[in-house]
């Protein structure tokens, strides 16, 4: 009887232990806020404890002990793979460990537009991918790297075409630049290159003019008109006299009113002093800006001035006399609003 009792107790204990570990493996152990999928980020060189800490910090594990046990049985602590992973509500430890061991990342969407400088772009990307802004900007300002992509320091900013892209979060700084170069070559297809040649420009020159157009107007329907005006000036050998290039030379795009003294700012980008296009873009041009240059509107305008109603649109003129009339109206509106700088 005693032996039988011992056997029964052992079986019960074994069954209880077996059930415990069965639930460790197959019982849902993940809970997410509002039952939504949560993205977790595991950086390079993370330890297993780092992973557990990330899961706990996000409040995803109901029972950390059971997750640790299953992970060790599957030898996950020895093969932590960095990446961005989608953790779903009610996942079992088995599901979660299999996901993390697989290295199957969830791509992240990276969108950038309305970017003026490479440091600004580096900071923007660093918030969305693993590399920090220092790693990115070091490569973006490396002459040998820039040359390998076929640009110089002034034109390199034109390689970045604003759009929404999918990346793996662990993409390196070099990997990001490689992808941007690939997207640049895809963007500059045969049709766009042919249009650039038809107006006597290389892609980098189109981007340079497009950056000025973008700074002149936020109105996409007006951009082809503005582009046509500057192309008219280039063809006639007239200085562009574009106020945004003066702001760039000043290093201050917040200036709302260009003064006569500003026009004398010594810079190769100051188109009041130098004929033709500046050395490179004064910002990352938009796709709309680039296509506005490639599909510029043909007209006889040579002058433009912001409308006095501050609508964001411009008055265009073929003669300096008419332009001066529009300019006087705009200056009057600035004075009335007490805008001096």
Q: Identify the structural domains of the chain with CATH numbers, from first to last.
A: 17-102 (3.30.1490.480), 108-187 (no CATH), 201-336 (no CATH)
Task: Compute the distance between CA of residue 273 and CA of residue 173 in angstroms, rounded to an integer.
Answer: 38
| CA 125 to each of CA 38, 44, 164, 319: distance values in angstroms, whole numbers, following the listed order | 21, 17, 12, 45
Closest to 299 in 3D by CA, of 246, 247, 230, 253:
230
- The string over 296-306, giving b where at least 16 C-beta atoms fall within 10 Å of a residue's C-beta and e elsewhere, is beeeebbbbbb
Q: How far is CA 291 from the centre of its chain?
A: 20
Can you point out the beta strands (E) in the chain? Answer: 38-42, 83-87, 108-112, 163-167, 303-306, 314-317
Task: Compute the distance between CA of residue 129 and CA of residue 167 in angstroms, rounded to an integer.
Answer: 8
CA angle 99, 101, 102 (to 5 degrees): 65
The pair of three-digit structure tokens given for residue 53, joined into one six-digit string: 């800490």
pLDDT one digit per residue (tens) for the chain, 341 residues: 555 444 444 445 455 556 677 888 989 999 999 989 999 999 999 999 999 999 999 999 999 999 999 999 999 999 999 999 999 999 999 999 999 999 999 999 999 999 999 999 999 999 999 999 999 999 999 999 999 999 999 999 999 999 999 999 999 999 999 999 999 999 999 999 999 999 999 999 999 999 999 999 999 999 999 999 999 999 999 999 999 999 999 998 888 888 889 999 999 999 999 999 999 999 999 999 999 999 999 999 999 999 999 999 999 999 999 999 999 999 899 888 878 76
> Do 286 and 210 touch, CB atoms closer than 8 A?
yes
Its pTM stands at: 0.89
């Amino acid at each position: 009887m005693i032996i039988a009792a011992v056997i029964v107790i052992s079986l019960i204990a074994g069954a209880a232990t077996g059930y415990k570990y069965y639930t460790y493996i197959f019982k849902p152990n993940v809970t997410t806020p509002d039952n939504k999928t949560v993205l977790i980020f595991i950086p390079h060189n993370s330890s297993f404890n780092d992973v557990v800490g990330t899961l706990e910090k996000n409040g995803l594990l109901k029972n950390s002990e059971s997750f640790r046990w299953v992970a060790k049985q599957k030898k996950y602590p020895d093969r932590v793979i960095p990446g961005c992973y989608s953790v779903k509500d009610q996942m079992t430890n088995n599901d979660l460990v299999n996901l993390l061991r697989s290295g199957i990342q969830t791509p992240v969407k990276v969108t950038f537009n309305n970017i003026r400088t490479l440091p600004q772009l580096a900071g923007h990307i660093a918030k969305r991918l693993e590399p920090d802004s220092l790693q990115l900007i070091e490569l973006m300002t490396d002459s040998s790297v820039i040359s390998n992509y076929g640009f110089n320091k002034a034109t390199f900013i034109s390689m970045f075409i604003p759009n929404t892209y999918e990346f793996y979060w662990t993409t390196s700084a070099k990997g990001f630049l490689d992808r941007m170069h690939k997207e640049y070559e895809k963007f500059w297809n045969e049709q766009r290159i042919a249009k650039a040649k038809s107006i006597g420009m290389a892609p980098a020159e189109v981007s340079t003019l497009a950056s000025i157009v973008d700074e002149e107007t936020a109105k996409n329907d007006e951009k082809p008109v503005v582009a046509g005006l500057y192309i008219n000036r280039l063809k006639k050998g007239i200085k562009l006299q574009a106020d945004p290039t003066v702001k760039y030379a000043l290093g201050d795009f917040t200036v709302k009113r260009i003064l006569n003294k500003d026009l004398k700012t010594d810079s190769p980008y100051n188109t009041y002093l130098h004929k033709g296009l500046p050395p490179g873009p004064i910002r990352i041009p938009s796709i709309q800006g680039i296509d506005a240059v490639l599909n510029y509107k043909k007209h006889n305008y040579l002058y433009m001035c912001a409308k006095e109603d501050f609508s964001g649109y411009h008055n265009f003129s073929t003669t300096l006399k008419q332009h001066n009339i529009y300019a006087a109206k705009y200056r009057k509106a600035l004075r009335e609003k007490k805008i001096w700088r």
